[in-house]
Amino acid sequence: MLQLVYISTARGPVTASDLQRILGASRRNNGRDGISGLLFFDGVRFLQALEGEEAAVTTAFERIHADPRHSGIVVLSRREVATREFGRWAMASRTALEGESAMLERVAALVADASPMVQATFTSFAEVRRKAA
């Protein structure tokens, strides 16, 4: 199974309904294609992990790569995993109702089964944004 982690930058302001649209399409397509993963949005940048059969992940990533809603896509990690590290597909972002530490806890829980490197990538991404805010 292939696991891919990338970072990208939103091209313009992203509203809650934009995020809901991305989430809706992702749940639908990724469910159909046997892809699990996590998408984290910090208000400016996206950090996403995708995992599944190599052909399915490659096809999804090509589609995502061509999406005009973001640019500057950089693959942080691309590796074979024997078992899924993200059991289901989820999207996390800081919600207006949630405190910073609650968001960090939620992200930590979502990456609990991931490799130490992938865990660190997501938790430090969330942490850096918290400090910068």
Ligand X SMILES: Cc1cc2nc3c(=O)[nH]c(=O)nc-3n(C[C@H](O)[C@H](O)[C@H](O)COP(=O)(O)O)c2cc1C
Interface residues toward ligand X, by CB under 6 A: 8, 22, 25-26, 29-30, 39, 46, 48, 50, 60, 63-64, 67, 69-70
Residue with smaller CB distance to ligand X, 67 or 99:
67
Residue with smaller CB distance to ligand X, 25 or 102:
25
Start-to-end CA distance of the chain, whole Å, equals: 36
Look at the alpha carbons of 127, 10, 37, 24 in this order and tell me if their dihedral is positive or negative.
positive
* Closest-CA residue to 41 (of 65, 15, 64): 15
Residue with smaller CB distance to ligand X, 20 or 99:
20
Least distance between ligand X and beta carbon 101 (Å) = 25
Question: How far is 87 from 19, CA to CA, in rounded Å?
Answer: 21
State the maximum Cα–Cα separation within the chain, in Å, rounded to a whole number.
Answer: 39
Least distance between ligand X and beta carbon 37 (Å) = 6
Residue with smaller CB distance to ligand X, 26 or 101:
26
Least distance between ligand X and beta carbon 65 (Å) = 8
DSSP 3-state percent helix, strand, coil across the chain (nearest 5): 45, 30, 25
Least distance between ligand X and beta carbon 56 (Å) = 10
